[in-house]
Structure 1
Amino acid sequence: MAAVRKLQKCVVSPTGKHSASVIFLHGSGDTGQGLRAWVRDVIVPDLAFTHIKVIYPTAPARPYTPMRGALSTVWFDRHKISRDCPEHLESIDAMCSTLGSIIQDEVNAGIPKHRIIIGGFSMGGAMALHLGCRYHPDVAGVFALSSFLNKDSAAFQAPEERLRSGHSLPELFQCHGTNDDLVLHQWGEDTSVLLRKTGMTTTFHSFSGLYHQLSQPEMELLKSWILSKLPPTTST
């Protein structure tokens, strides 16, 4: 079996004892360092914590079909940017394996999976949904900002199967701007509705006038949600 590729990472370490982790995935064409800089510009003072490590991985450059095969730092390929087309599952599943190694690194460092949150912006949010719904449903939660899943996504089937077997599901936190490109806000809201129908607990926040971008109110809400899911531990 081929070795899993190690991804470049930008890491914001906690100021105190590390007891939880957040993996934050960038959008298509960006990098972990780029997303980290954007977050720092948007939220004051920062998306940083006393006890939570925040990890910003960078996707490897790969040919991207919507860009006519040009190389781009994307988590997976798409046949086209459309909710109605089939997913490129081969590239999605391969990246789930690669990103799973980051989760395993945190577990090896002593962080239980129920103290890990996976999330992302745009394509990173869709990637996080596949990770959380299909591969690592025992994490504390998943967040998706300005993101959507394709209409017949494989991620919609996994939660129902897990519930039927008596297991729990991660909580989903979504945010989307009402002025996002095309009909992406509606696609994002539809994703939340469809996942809620599978049995997941979902929360969808609309931000009036926001385009395909991060905002301070959105990030402050996300930070509060992260702390509610990953509070400081009382052990010494």
Structure 2
Amino acid sequence: MSQTLLKSIVLPQAGSSKATATVIFAHGLGDQGAGWLDVAQMLRKRPKLQHVRFVLPNSPVQPVTLNGGMPMPSWFDIRTLDDISGGEDEVGLRKSADALSALINAEEAGSQEHLDGQGVPSERVVVGGFSQGGAIGLLCGLTHPKPVAGIVGLSTWLPLRAKMVAPYLTSHARNIPIFLGHGTADQVVKYEYGQRSAKFLRAGGENDGGAGSYDGMAHSACMEEIEHVAEYLEKVIPAQAS
């Protein structure tokens, strides 16, 4: 049975030719895809990224323990932010990672909006997100059956670290370039969680395609970080010769 695709905002490539790469970026807790629309529009206008389409999925609305059980847009349940690895919602994490994987498969099949049957192979897809969405992006990219071009994680952490070993990880996971960015003043997902995740990934052999620590930045993104993400994307999904 095919999986129902997440409702998403889809920005087609800015150039006149067909899309040859895709970025799938997941929002944070309580947000929606539209929250990252301005950033996506900024990135797709760069001369070296006009062949890239951006897919900004919306998470389901579900109860969140951290929010007193009130429903809100969320990729998985969060019980506490004091210990990011304590009592993880593994079922919810896996379900949302699978939902992002389904979007990657739809890109390959050319069945998504604006693709017109012209697929984008997984090796030309970057997956990632911000905060809770970044955790899902990391989990998806490292466990997707086919290699992806890269993973972007902003103000986030690597979930299910205790299970991030073979055979849970795919054999190609260690070859995926990963960009991690985190503010030193993050009051929500502590800076140390991001550093711990980066150290874990390096120890596991996963390539560090770029990383940034941003002094004084809280739980947000800054122009310097977005510029670094743009430079990373230009490296991992460069324009192809026609």
Same fold (TM over 0.5): yes
Match of 2:213 among 206, 211, 219: 206
1:233 to 217, 224, 240: 240
Provide the rounded CA distance (Å) in 2 between the counterparts of 1:125 and 1:167: 16
How far, CA to CA, are the matches of 1:230 and 1:14 in structure 2?
13
Deviation at 1:86, TM superposition (A): 3.3
Alignment of 1:158-177 (within 5 A): 158=166, 162-163=170-171, 169-177=175-183
Q: TM-score, normalised by structure 2?
A: 0.86
Q: Deviations over 1:13-53 (max 9, x none)?
A: 1122210000011000000012214x26xxxx811131000
SS of residue paired to 1:157: coil
1:141 to 133, 150, 158: 150
Distance change in 2, residues 1:174/1:137 (3 Å):
farther
The gaps in structure 1 that reach 5 residues or longer are none
Provide the identity percentage: 30
Match of 1:187 in 2: 193
Q: What is the distance in 1 between the residues matched to 2:211 and 2:124?
A: 22
Count of residues in Structure 1 that have an aligned counterpart in Structure 2: 226
Map of 2:226 onto structure 1: 219
1:161 Cα deviation from its structure 2 partner: 5.5
Deviations 1:115-140 (Å, cap 9, x if unpaired)?
Answer: 00001011111000100112256001
Counterparts of 2:106 and 2:29, CA distance in 1: 24
Q: Identify the residue that residue 75 of structure 2 maps to in structure 1.
A: 75
Residue matched to 2:114: none
Which letter does structure 1 place at the counterpart of 2:206? M
**Structure 1 pair 223–19 and aligned structure 2 pair: CA distance change class (3 A):** same
Q: Which residue of structure 2 aligns with residue 124 of structure 1?
A: 133
Instruction: Name 2:62's counterpart in structure 1.
Output: 62
Provide the residue aligned with 1:13 in structure 2: 12
Q: Distance in 2 between matches of 1:158 and 1:124?
A: 23
Partner of 1:46: 42
Give the whole-Å Cα distance in 2 for the aligned partners of 1:208 and 1:159: 37
- The TM-score with structure 1 as length reference comes to 0.88
Q: Is the 8 A contact 1:160 1:198 kept in 2?
A: no
Q: Which runs of 5+ in 2 are unaligned?
A: 111-118
Q: Equivalences for 1:87-126 in 2 at 5 Å?
A: 87-109=88-110, 110-126=119-135
Structure 1 residue runs of 4+, over 3 Å off? 150-153, 158-163
